[in-house]
Structures are given as structure tokens and as C-alpha cells.
């Protein structure tokens, strides 16, 4: 039930975010005196609506976004003959370029505002900034090979005794041998271990299921015990997998020291700007890598392993949100909404139709073309012929639609999971 609730809540949050995107367009358009005739949440048949002033507000039957109708957004949408003479000066294209730019960018700016406020709340009051004490502790544990012990580990060895472990898992070898959290491993099979890197390298060279002597330093007292490594599948740097020996340990961290810390409302402002800058940078990198993600998505649909960093659709993001609610990870839930809002805001500003960035690019192109014509003493070439741009617009729509269909399919047949 928590999982389903999380899915519904995340999908609702996305719908509200997109509706606020359109509200940003409407609010700025009305502020500049443009004629706004409709504002609806959803698409398809109208379920409910009302008129206030010159604008009709309402809800439609398909809750997949929303729209706002600003008269004169493109030449294809103009119908000035039906307007009063005073309203003809209120159409979108007659307004100054700076006003049109603000109105077109207002949707993305709304996403940025939503993301920034949510991120500031998380940073200032919840705690998503790495705790320096935690980071120092992790570094110390890596340098001294201090370990935490896993009671259960995943295994394909169904013949092994599972004990109290869930199905598909066996008792951790180090745990079974009596090694405790906070112990520092000093040697494995007679080979000295000085840090976490040397520990991993030494254990990886062992033979699974073959007992090995492991020496640990436990609060200043050395003791040696026999451990039977298990076979684990790990991913290599080139993306392939291999089977290696493992002891069932990981880097030790004191449970009393939180991994993250709330920095407060004042310090949170600077931290939020810094984190936002990092997120914007990662978003641009992700956009540049999108074409390379298509083949792995197709492989995932065909039964291959789904990469954790592969693109997700609204369906996949909602499923992840459901998992986060199921495991009571509300900070992750809202952080995912922050990432999604930033991504939508940036993506929508790309200079391609039908995105808002495409309309902004055309508006500035018209202005530049008129300026050049005036400098040359030639007549104003007027507005761009949108009909000539329709083939390119349709191509973008087809590509985006195909990519959306691909991600939705992958999110249904082979979804990304975090906690399983």
C-alpha cells in the first residue's frame, strides 16, 4: 500500500509541477497585458470549467500536463479578426521582445523556483549535505581497513544454509566467523592488509568456498579466525561482470554519526546554490549522453540488465518515488522531484520547437533579422513562416515520442529499483 501511495503521490507532484509551469506562462502574460483565453489542467474532454474575466479555467479528463492559451503565440494561432480593436494590441507577438521572452521562459523558471525551494528545505532543515564528521570517519576506515559486517549477503548458492536470512541470501562469512563491526582487518591468508584497497585486492584473489585465515585488530587486541569467502558477482570498470571472492564486509561507519547534516536556513542558501550548480552541470552532461543511452535501453527491454543511470520516464520516476515512500525515504523522494524539475526546466529551454526554447530562439531570430534588414536599408522581412518549420517540428515530436515510448516500455518490463 505504501508503494502504491508513493507512486500516486509522485505522479500527482509531477502533475502539479507541470500545471504550475503553465501557470507561470499565464501569470506573466496577464502581467504584461496579453490576452489569455484558457488555462486548463490536463488534456482531452473537459470535466469542469468556469470563466473569470476573459479566461476560462478548468480540468480535463487526461491528467498528463496542462496548457495555457495566449492569443497570438504563433502566426498559426492568430485569429485577430474576431478581436476587438483594443484587444488587437494585446496579442502576444505585438508585445516587446523582452516581455515575450519572459513569458516563454516563465514555465522553466517556475520549475527552477520549485526545485530551488524544495532543495533549500532539504538542505537547511532535513539534511542532505554530507556530514564532515561522517566523511572523515569513512576516510579513516578506508585507511585502516576497519569494516562493518553484513549478517546476510546475496548468493546464488541455494544449497548454502540461509539461517535467518531472506530467500536468495546466505549468512555473511565474516559475520559467521565472529568478526565484529569496527574491527580492523590486518591480514588475509598471511598477506598483510594496510587499507581498504589492499583488502579488496587481496580478497579478490582468493578462491570462493576455500577457508582462509583472517587476522583482525579488535580494540587493540589481535585475533585470527577462519573465514570461508563466498562467490560474488561484481561489475568491472568496462561494464562487464566477473565472479570474485568476498568476505561480506564493507567500510565501517559509526551508526551514531549521520551521513548528512542540516546546515540551517542561512547557510542553506549558499549550499542550495552550490548544489543547484552541480545539478545543472550534471543535467547538461546527461542531455549530451542521451543518444548513447538508447541502445542499452533497448537491450534492457529485450531482457538485458537495466543500467541504474539509464533514463526514466514519468512511469519510472513514479515507481522510484513509490519505492522511496515504501522504505520511508522521504528525503530521496523530494530530491528526485528536485532533479526532475531542474531537468524539465532545462530541457524545455532547448532551442527546438515545440519547446519554449524554440519559440524564444525564433523571437530573437526575428528581431536580429529585422535589425540587419534595417541596417541595410531593406524592408522588414516580418515574422518567421512557421509552416516552413513544421517538418522539423514534427521530426522533433516523433523523436521525443519514440524516446518516451522506449523509456516507458523499459520502465514497465525492466524497471530500475533502488532497494531490491
Nearest to 189, CA basis, from 208, 214, 172: 214
Q: What is the dihedral of CA 208, 304, 235, 309, to 10 degrees?
A: -150
DSSP collapsed to 3 states, 128-151: CEECHHHHHHHHHHHHHCEEEECC
- Contacts (Cβ under 8 Å, ≥6 apart) of 225: 177, 178, 179, 213, 214, 216
**Cell numbers given for 208:** 570462493
**Cell numbers given for 185:** 582487518
Mark 303-330 as b/e (b = at least 16 C-beta within 10 Å): eeebeeebbbbbbbbbbbbbbbbbbebe
Q: Are 126 and 271 in contact (CB under 8 A)?
A: no
Q: What is the dihedral of CA 86, 92, 96, 98, to 10 degrees?
A: 150
DSSP output for 18-70? HHHHHHHHHHHHHHTT--EEEEEEEEEEEEEEEEETTEEEEEEEEEEEEEEEE
Q: What separation, in Å, do the N-terminal and C-terminal C-alpha atoms of the chain show?
A: 17
Residue 72 CB coordination number (10 Å): 21
Which element (helix H / strand E) includes 110? Answer: helix 97-121
Nearest to 246, CA basis, from 189, 198, 199: 199
- Tally the C-alpha atoms within 13 A of residue 386's C-alpha that lie toward its C-beta: 17
Q: Are 322 and 7 in contact (CB under 8 A)?
A: yes
Residues with a known catalytic role: 22
The CB-based long-range contact list for 15-18 (8 Å cut-off, 24+ gap) reads: 15/41, 15/63, 15/64, 15/65, 15/66, 17/111, 17/114, 17/337, 17/340, 17/341, 17/344, 18/65, 18/66, 18/344
Amino acid at each position: 500500500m505504501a508503494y502504491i501511495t508513493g507512486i500516486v503521490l509522485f505522479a500527482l507532484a509531477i502533475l502539479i509541477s507541470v500545471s504550475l509551469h503553465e501557470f507561470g506562462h499565464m501569470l506573466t502574460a496577464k502581467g504584461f497585458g496579453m490576452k489569455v483565453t484558457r488555462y486548463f489542467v490536463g488534456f482531452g474532454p473537459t470535466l469542469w470549467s468556469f470563466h473569470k474575466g476573459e479566461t476560462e479555467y478548468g480540468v480535463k479528463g487526461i491528467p498528463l500536463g496542462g496548457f495555457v492559451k495566449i492569443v497570438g503565440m504563433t502566426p498559426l494561432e492568430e485569429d485577430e479578426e474576431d478581436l476587438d480593436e483594443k484587444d488587437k494590441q494585446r496579442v502576444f507577438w505585438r508585445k516587446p521582445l523582452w516581455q515575450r521572452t519572459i513569458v516563454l521562459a516563465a514555465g522553466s523558471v517556475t520549475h527552477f523556483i520549485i526545485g530551488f525551494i524544495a532543495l533549500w528545505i532539504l538542505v537547511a532543515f532535513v539534511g542532505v549535505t554530507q556530514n564532515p564528521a561522517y566523511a572523515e570517519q569513512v576516510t579513516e576506515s578506508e585507511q585502516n581497513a576497519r569494516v562493518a559486517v553484513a549478517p546476510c549477503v546475496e548468493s546464488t548458492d541455494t544449497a548454502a544454509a540461509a539461517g535467518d536470512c531472506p530467500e536468495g541470501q546466505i549468512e555473511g562469512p565474516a559475520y559467521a566467523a565472529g568478526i565484529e563491526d569496527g574491527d580492523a582487518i590486518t591480514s588475509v591468508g598471511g598477506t598483510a592488509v594496510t587499507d581498504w584497497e589492499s583488502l579488496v585486492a587481496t580478497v579478490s584473489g582468493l578462491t570462493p568456498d576455500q577457508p582462509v585465515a583472517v587476522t583482525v585488530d579488535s580494540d587493540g587486541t589481535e585475533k585470527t579466525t577462519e573465514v570461508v569467502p563466498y562467490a560474488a558477482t561484481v561489475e568491472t570498470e568496462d561494464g562487464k561482470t566477473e565472479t570474485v571472492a568476498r568476505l561480506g564486509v564493507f567500510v565501517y561507519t559509526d551508526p551514531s554519526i549521520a551521513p548528512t547534516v542540516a546546515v540551517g536556513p542561512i547557510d542553506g542558501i549558499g549550499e542550495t546554490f552550490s548544489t543547484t550548480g552541480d545539478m545543472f552541470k550534471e543535467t547538461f552532461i546527461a542531455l549530451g549522453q542521451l543518444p548513447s543511452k538508447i541502445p542499452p535501453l533497448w537491450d534492457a527491454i529485450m531482457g538485458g540488465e537495466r543500467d541504474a543511470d539509464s533514463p526514466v520516464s514519468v512511469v519510472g520516476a513514479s515507481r522510484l518515488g513509490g519505492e522511496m515512500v515504501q522504505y520511508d525515504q522521504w528525503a530521496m523522494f523530494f530530491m528526485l522531484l528536485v532533479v526532475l524539475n531542474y531537468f524539465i526546466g532545462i530541457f524545455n529551454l532547448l532551442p527546438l520547437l515545440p519547446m519554449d526554447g524554440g519559440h524564444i530562439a525564433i523571437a530573437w531570430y526575428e528581431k536580429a533579422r529585422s535589425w540587419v534588414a534595417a541596417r541595410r536599408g531593406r524592408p522588414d522581412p516580418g515574422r518567421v513562416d512557421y509552416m516552413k518549420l513544421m517538418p522539423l517540428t514534427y521530426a522533433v515530436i516523433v523523436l521525443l515520442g519514440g524516446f518516451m515510448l522506449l523509456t516507458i516500455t523499459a520502465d514497465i518490463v525492466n524497471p530500475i529499483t533502488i532497494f531490491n
